[in-house]
Structure 1
Amino acid sequence: MATKIKTVFYCQSCGFESSKWMGQCPGCREWNTMVEETVKADKKKRTGFAPEGAGSSLSPKSLSQIELGREDRSDTHIGELNRVLGGGLVRGSLTLVGGDPGIGKSTLLLQVCRNMAADGRKILYISGEESLRQIKLRASRIGEFTDDLTFLCETSLSDIETVIERTSPEIVIIDSIQTMYSEDVTSAPGSVSQVREATAVLLRIAKSRGISILIVGHVTKEGTVAGPRVLEHMVDTVLYFEGDRNASYRILRGVKNRFGSTNEIGVFEMREDGLAEVENPSEFMLDGRPGDASGCIVTCAVTGTRPILLEVQALVCRTNFGFPRRQANGTDFNRVNLLMAVLEKRVGLMMSDCDAYINLAGGLKMQEPALDLGICLAVISSFKNRPISPDLVAFGEVGLSGEVRSVGMAETRVAEAAKLGFKTIILPESARKRIGKVKGVEIIGVSSIRDAMDLF
């Protein structure tokens, strides 16, 4: 049967498909995102897949007939990456790694290949952006590599599938998904239809052959993976590599994970020989903090199962303009404005003619409600120009009535603060009742933000 060629319109934001052009996408409600692309529709082409060892995909099974075993995971020998993945790289999974240009995505994956190849695993690294000489120059800074790691520079999906069938690797790296193209789609590489087709082909290879595939994805200026939104829905795991390219720290955040938690983060430090793990992020984030400056306080946030101590910095000063300026780095800007309104209404701090700047030192981005109490106390300290003891930690959620509400995992937060030598911990009164005495630590419970302010 002859191949039928048709013209469709895709939304560059969400991947919505339409037979005609529209100014506003019905899927994501974005304007001017519909682009025209020509695709080939082959009715004989099979798009489904049967996982390895599962038999025919056309034979429905009941839950009692499905064997549920433990996932076959591979140790990457990078503890922070294992934490985010949920214990290691799952066999037959498709993982997407996104991040800004130059943030270290390729370096991280090259280190993973080096570590796993040292265990005797057969790995294929496919690059569509760099030549073999460029890859070797980058790899020479990391260390020695074994012959179990092979490299290929190719962008054709059909050729890549042929190489995978011939070499039978256990792990495949695709760098990047936006450079891959299929001859069955007439649009240019990186387009909506090409990215979707390439991901579908790689997903079929991963599930049918039991190969772990990691793909690198470019990001847009908004910080999301370039291409259709369906790309993130198709893969098993989505990881975002965050951080400032001018700083040494990097944050690996799990956004989606079908095999583990979606709220874990891994902290790395960029060095000359590659990325190094930061096993104690709390100590790393608090390094160099001032001891006698007003507007600085330490609070505790929890990401997944990991408590992290952070320094909240606030600067409140008289404005030189008719409209005061508010700025927040690392936390929700609207939440900061809400907390400042609570301080004006419930505590009586008149800051309508003051500029306010809030910063989470260290570059982490947190929006947990437990940061509320720390932000409020930092603002009060800067407004009154009264330093807070460097041995004090405060955490708790602040409501619109000025009450301090309990937060989860209070025992874990207290234990982390005590481990790092803090002497005083301010937390919600309801949480203090559940925590026993801790040697060398004074635990103070507060019911409202006014009670916390009276402690100064």
Structure 2
Amino acid sequence: MAKKSTIFFCQNCGYESAKWLGQCPACKEWNTLVEETVVTGKTGKSSKKTESLAARIHEAQPVKLSGIKTESEIRTATGFEELDRVLGGGIVAGSLVLVGGDPGIGKSTILLQVCKNLTEKGKKVLYISGEESLQQIKLRASRIGSFGEEMLLLCETSLETIQGVIERVQPEIVVIDSIQTMYQEDVSSAPGSVSQVREATSVFMQIAKRMGISIFIVGHVTKEGVVAGPRVLEHMVDTVLYFEGDRHAAYRILRGVKNRFGSTNEIGVFEMCQSGLKEVKNPSEYMLSGKPQGASGSIVSCSMEGTRPILVEVQALVCRSNLAMPRRTAAGTDYNRVGLLMAVIEKRIGMHLSTCDAYVNIAGGIRMNEPAIDLAIVLALISSYKDIAIDEKTLAFGEVGLSGEIRAVSMAQQRVAEAKKLGFETIILPAVSMPSIGKVEGIRLLPAANLREALKYL
């Protein structure tokens, strides 16, 4: 007879323990173990299981690597160039993709739009929802546009039923919305628990690899911004995509955190409209919209996201402080990096910022941590401190070292080309990057080996 027992699972790595522990022995994280009820005991089918196991062992045979024939990798375009870039060129057959993000950020909307684009190409798509009814999905789909005849909907949460439907219908693309609502009857814990999420992901992974079906999984996130459930969920899937941005704002950023078929440095920018999400093919232009003219503490820099250069406005505000410990704030970049750069300014240039409050902001709501924006942050801080405006047609990029030197950054030629395309006339850049750029017509390049040389150009 089956027995019920209690086991504690680590939400971060999936470690199992018979008792609760404050710290997980495997991943060393604190307060990650949660209680789950499991059913153990004899089922009376041991002989049949032994026979089936013996048959599987007999059928499993290793294959020589040289004898495996592979077709050229064929990717399916989603209809969104931004999404295709993040995926590495399109949807790979048999891949398992996890899409995470805050509630209301647009996860279900973009997947429904992808389904629309695929059905227009004649692809058979199965959209499985465990949260909404068929009528709710129909109302949301009617705002997006017209769908092809190959669009199929299913409202179901049982894994056994879903697996049977997929094997019968044989779709090319499957969307699961969401993984936290799926449950397997053999697992006694509630839907959304560690055991259910892990088991559901395992079932969909087997379906994707065995049948060659591309499956998209929607995952809710916790207040820390990570996908709810065990961290092993991210290890099992092929690709992890995160939607970032404020749901009350118009713009969304799709970032690849893990990708077995492409780079994890690419991002896609979307705008939320009445009819769904719309691509922003030139993010630099919208990032710089509304840039003030003739104001101190503002300069444009160029950051690389994968192979894409993005121009961002770096803003700084430095003012006298009345506090015993001056305030330091950084929005859109690393706080510790800003403190380090302010120490470099004090030591190498001789400006006393220790009695001033300093605020640094990357305009546009995007987050940039690349060291290439160091020079722009330093120039913005000095511009605000001296209350001197920087020409709005000037751009700066380069990494700043602790000795005040300006170090080279990657893809300098692409950064210069992007600045020239958007009408910038002057670029302050590392002197060591000049040989790789060469001569560029129509734009003035000002090389600087250290901060003192860069300040002369201002």
User: Mean Cα displacement is larger for which, 31-40 or 339-348?
Assistant: 31-40
Aligned partner of 2:372 in structure 1 is 370
- Give 1:453 shift: 1.5
Aligned partner of 1:53 in structure 2 is none
Residue among 45, 56, 66 paired with 1:64: 66
- Give 1:246 shift: 1.5
Contact (CA 8 Å) 1:9, 1:20: kept in 2 or not? yes
1:324-343 aligned at under 5 Å gives the runs: 324-343=326-345
1:169-208 aligned at under 5 Å gives the runs: 169-208=171-210
Paired with 1:349 and 1:59, the residues of 2 have a C-alpha distance of 71
Aligned partner of 2:288 in structure 1 is 286
- Give 1:57 shift: 7.9
Paired with 1:366 and 1:59, the residues of 2 have a C-alpha distance of 49
Aligned partner of 1:35 in structure 2 is 34
Q: Secondary structure at the match of 1:386?
A: coil
Query: Which amino acid in structure 2 is aligned with residue 358 of structure 1?
Result: V
Paired with 2:219 and 2:65, the residues of 1 have a C-alpha distance of 35
Aligned partner of 2:11 in structure 1 is 12
Change (3 A) 1:78 1:323: same
Q: Secondary structure at the match of 2:299?
A: strand
Aligned partner of 1:116 in structure 2 is 118
Q: Secondary structure at the match of 2:436?
A: coil
Cα shift readout 1:319-365 (whole Å, capped 9, x = no counterpart): 22211111111111111111111111111111111111111111111
Aligned partner of 1:420 in structure 2 is 422
How many residue pairs get aligned? The number is 449
Change (3 A) 1:384 1:57: farther
Paired with 1:451 and 1:426, the residues of 2 have a C-alpha distance of 10
Aligned partner of 2:217 in structure 1 is 215
Aligned partner of 1:158 in structure 2 is 160
Paired with 1:372 and 1:9, the residues of 2 have a C-alpha distance of 46
Aligned partner of 1:255 in structure 2 is 257
Paired with 1:450 and 1:368, the residues of 2 have a C-alpha distance of 22
Aligned partner of 2:304 in structure 1 is 302
Query: Which amino acid in structure 1 is aligned with residue 80 of structure 2?
Result: I
Query: Which amino acid in structure 2 is aligned with residue 96 of structure 1?
Result: L
Aligned partner of 2:442 in structure 1 is 440
Aligned partner of 2:90 in structure 1 is 88
Contact (CA 8 Å) 1:432, 1:444: kept in 2 or not? no
Contact (CA 8 Å) 2:12, 2:232: kept in 1 or not? no
- Give 1:186 shift: 0.8
Query: Which amino acid in structure 1 is aligned with residue 25 of structure 2?
Result: P
Contact (CA 8 Å) 1:103, 1:242: kept in 2 or not? yes
Q: Secondary structure at the match of 2:144?
A: coil
Contact (CA 8 Å) 1:316, 1:354: kept in 2 or not? yes
Contact (CA 8 Å) 2:10, 2:32: kept in 1 or not? yes
Change (3 A) 1:57 1:122: farther
- Give 1:27 shift: 2.7
Q: Secondary structure at the match of 1:140?
A: helix
Query: Which amino acid in structure 2 is aligned with residue 16 of structure 1?
Result: Y
Paired with 1:199 and 1:12, the residues of 2 have a C-alpha distance of 14
Aligned partner of 2:137 in structure 1 is 135
When normalised by structure 1's length, the TM-score is 0.95
- Give 1:85 shift: 0.5
Cα shift readout 1:401-426 (whole Å, capped 9, x = no counterpart): 11100000001101110111100011
Residue among 387, 390, 393 paired with 1:388: 390
Q: Secondary structure at the match of 1:433?
A: helix
Q: Which runs of 5+ in 1 are unaligned?
A: 51-55
- Give 1:197 shift: 0.4
Identity of aligned residues (%): 66
Contact (CA 8 Å) 1:98, 1:219: kept in 2 or not? yes
Paired with 1:298 and 1:154, the residues of 2 have a C-alpha distance of 50
User: Mean Cα displacement is larger for which, 316-325 or 21-30?
Assistant: 21-30
Paired with 1:416 and 1:115, the residues of 2 have a C-alpha distance of 30
Paired with 1:289 and 1:57, the residues of 2 have a C-alpha distance of 66
Paired with 1:35 and 1:421, the residues of 2 have a C-alpha distance of 56
User: Mean Cα displacement is larger for which, 4-13 or 379-388?
Assistant: 4-13
Change (3 A) 1:57 1:435: farther
From the two aligned structures, give the one with the greater helix fraction. Answer: 2
Paired with 2:252 and 2:448, the residues of 1 have a C-alpha distance of 35
Change (3 A) 1:201 1:4: farther
Q: Secondary structure at the match of 2:322?
A: coil
Q: Which runs of 5+ in 2 are unaligned?
A: none
Paired with 2:61 and 2:370, the residues of 1 have a C-alpha distance of 45
- Give 1:4 shift: 6.5
Q: Secondary structure at the match of 1:453?
A: helix
Paired with 1:355 and 1:68, the residues of 2 have a C-alpha distance of 61
Query: Which amino acid in structure 1 is aligned with residue 24 of structure 2?
Result: C
Residue among 51, 56, 77 paired with 1:75: 77
Contact (CA 8 Å) 1:264, 1:306: kept in 2 or not? yes
1:408 aligns with 2:407: no
Paired with 2:31 and 2:234, the residues of 1 have a C-alpha distance of 22
Cα shift readout 1:205-253 (whole Å, capped 9, x = no counterpart): 0100111000000011111111111100000000001111121000000
Paired with 2:21 and 2:59, the residues of 1 have a C-alpha distance of 37
Contact (CA 8 Å) 2:204, 2:215: kept in 1 or not? yes
1:103 aligns with 2:108: no
Q: Secondary structure at the match of 2:303?
A: strand
- Give 1:150 shift: 1.0
